[in-house]
Structure 1
Amino acid sequence: MADPAAVLSDLRAEGEELEQLVAPLAAEGWSMPTPAPGWTVAHQIAHLAWTDERALLSATDPGAFAEDAAQALTSPETFVDDGAQRLVDELPPASLLDCWRTGRAALHRALAGRPPGARLPWYGPPMSVASMATARLMETWAHGQDVADALGVRREPTARLRHVVRIGVRARDYAYMVHGLVPPAEEFRVELTAPDGDVWAYGPEDAVQRVTGAALDFCLLATQRAHRSDLALHAEGPDAAHWLDIAQAFAGPPGKGREPATVEGIGGGSADGAGAAL
């Protein structure tokens, strides 16, 4: 089980790194389009701010969150995008940045203050504090990649990618189910090279179905920030190969993902972003 304090520390660092990218931007920079169709840099930050607000509500007032979620789920295909759009419409860039910054800090305090074993309601099954923080980190990293791609910035991968990898590996069966497919019965072996050269391994060592490659590339694939053909991931076995075609670390329906890059991509060959992760 992940240590909530360690995940929260990494979540804070991930947010601070993204803030360093957007804080210096002039107004026109916030209006710059990102690879996610119809989303500007402002939309990316607004989405993170909106989702952090919902996570904070879950951690501090579960009853109010349940009411909010019930209303949101009457529009399951649009409520996430609608929340981001509302903030973009209401707040100028400086205020939006402050909203996101303040919300991140409040969420950190709220999650850190939850007792051991606490379960937080969400739009799917309830989550532990560590799982909520990991999900927020994954989203911050993925939407940060959209921002970095829009700005033409190549980010240095960090050990925080391990949290994104963990979600992607654990979400294997979910990826099959959202495509209307039955997950394979056997476990896969996943061996990924971390930014520092270490190997992060999951699954039985003697598994027939195997995935190997760079951790960064797996994260780009699982968050649908890059097309598989632009990444250095290797599959052994037909089931492992199929999984790489449908993998997703985010909740909700399958995202369209990005088209293959026509030029060298940013951050390991990334091109377009996918649907919003919850």
Structure 2
Amino acid sequence: MNDVLAAVLADLAAEGDALEAAVAGLDAGQWRLPTPAEGWDVATQVAHLAWTDEAALKAATDKAAWDALVLEAIADPEGVVDKAALTGGAVPPEELLARWRTARTALAGALRDHPDDEKMPWFGPPMSATSMATARFMETWAHGLDVYDALGVAHEPTDRIRHVAHLGVRTRGFAFSVHGEQAPAEEFRVELDAPSGERWVWGPEDAAQRVSGPAYDFCLLVTQRVHRADTALVAEGPDAARWLEIAQCFAGLAGKGRSARG
């Protein structure tokens, strides 16, 4: 296992542990609190994380099981995710938490043992173990935000969100393609201020297309947890401005995003 993967897995475990601690003591009514995702309550969000961790485990270890899941998704591309989350969230909370804990622990072990030079299939492009761990961190963090929002619990950002920011930068071309647009060929410069105050940068210093601002805002935007107008992000250049309108770091169809605050 390489050092980068080890670091991502450690941060993924920390983010998952924090979310599990936040929901472990909830009563039955709190599990049913609505989250910002329409039709999804707290239990649905956790069930989605469990299902996706299980899907990633199949991708990493069981080709037959993965192929069966792909056929299921092909048969119902717009409903398979909701169906799995809603069905999974209907079980008793203790059972749901045990399922998620088992899935994320097993996935971490599988990614730890996965050959560095071998990619695994996914709903988007094939992924290395490091890329899969990064994607799992992004989902855990983003859906965790939905849960914290529903519970009215403050969740202070940490520099662990660098994984989300990196994924957001790396998926710039995908964000254009999923909207049926040609991705700009030139590199962008991205300069983000981390929660700790550190500056994170990607791309050439002399790039004409530039994005800068708080890393937290950028991470919220690329996971579609905030409207572009409600961020402090600055775009220089028309392509950079367009990117911030359509940014998406997760596989699947483009979401409708969040509405701007009044």
Partner of 1:52: 53
- CA-atom RMSD in angstroms: 1.3
Residue 195 of structure 1 pairs with residue 195 of structure 2: yes
For residues 60 and 178 of structure 1, what CA distance do their matches in structure 2 show? Answer: 28
Distance in 2 of aligned mates of 1:102 and 1:146: 22
**Post-superposition CA distance 1:39-92 (Å, at most 9, x none):** 000010000000111111122212321222123222111111111112123x11
Alpha-carbon shift at residue 170 of structure 1 (Å) = 0.8
In 1, are the aligned partners of 2:123 and 2:251 still within 8 Å (CA)? no
Partner of 2:35: 34
- Alpha-carbon spacing, 1:116–1:238, altered in 2? closer, same or farther (3 Å): closer
Residue 185 of structure 1: CA displacement?
2.0
The whole-number CA distance in structure 2 between the counterparts of 1:158 and 1:200 is 14
User: Residues 61-80 of structure 1: matches in 2 within 5 Å?
Assistant: 61-80=62-81
Does the 8 Å contact 2:229/2:260 carry over to 1?
Answer: yes
Classify the secondary structure of the residue corresponding to 1:196.
Answer: coil
- Cα distance in 1, alignment partners of residues 187 and 110 from structure 2: 36
Contact 1:62 1:120 in 2 (8 A): no
Shift of 1:122: 1.5
Contact 2:43/2:89 (CA < 8 Å) preserved in 1? Answer: yes
Structure 1 residues 250-265: aligned runs within 5 Å: 250-262=250-262
Question: 1:2 Cα deviation (Å)?
Answer: 7.3
1:127 is the counterpart of 2:127:
yes
Structure (1/2) with the larger helix percentage: 2
Aligned with 2:89: secondary structure? helix
Q: Give TM-score, length-normalised by structure 1.
A: 0.91
Amino acid paired to 2:244 = L
| Distance across 1 between alignment mates of 2:83 and 2:145 | 21
Residue 138 of structure 2 corresponds to residue 138 of structure 1: yes
Partner of 1:274: none
Q: Distance in 1 between matches of 2:34 and 2:3?
A: 35
Structure 2 match to 1:154? 154
Conservation of the 8 A alpha-carbon contact between 1:2 and 1:130: no
Q: Which digits, 9 at most, give the CA deviation of each residue in 1:216-265, with x for residues without a partner?
A: 00000000001111111011111111111110111111111111124xxx
CA contact (8 A) 2:40 2:86 kept: no
| Distance in structure 1 (CA, Å) of the matches to 2:159 and 2:132 | 19
In the TM superposition, what are the counterparts of 1:87-236 in structure 2 within 5 Å? 87-89=88-90, 91-236=91-236
CA distance in 2 between partners of 1:37 and 1:255 (Å): 12
Aligned to 1:270: none
Contact 1:209–1:235 (8 Å) recurs in 2 = yes
Number of residue pairs aligned between Structure 1 and Structure 2: 261
Q: By how many angstroms is 1:124 displaced? A: 2.6
Q: Are the counterparts in 2 of residues 218 and 233 from structure 1 also a CA contact under 8 Å?
A: yes
- What letter matches 2:60 in structure 1? A
Superposition misfits of 4+ residues, deviation over 6 angstroms: none
Local SS of the residue matching 2:46 = helix
In 2, the alpha carbon distance for the partners of 1:121 and 1:2 equals 22
Distance 1:158 1:29, change over 3 A: same
Q: Does the CA contact (< 8 Å) of 1:168 and 1:247 recur in 2?
A: yes
TM-score (norm 2): 0.96
CA contact (8 A) 1:66 1:121 kept: no
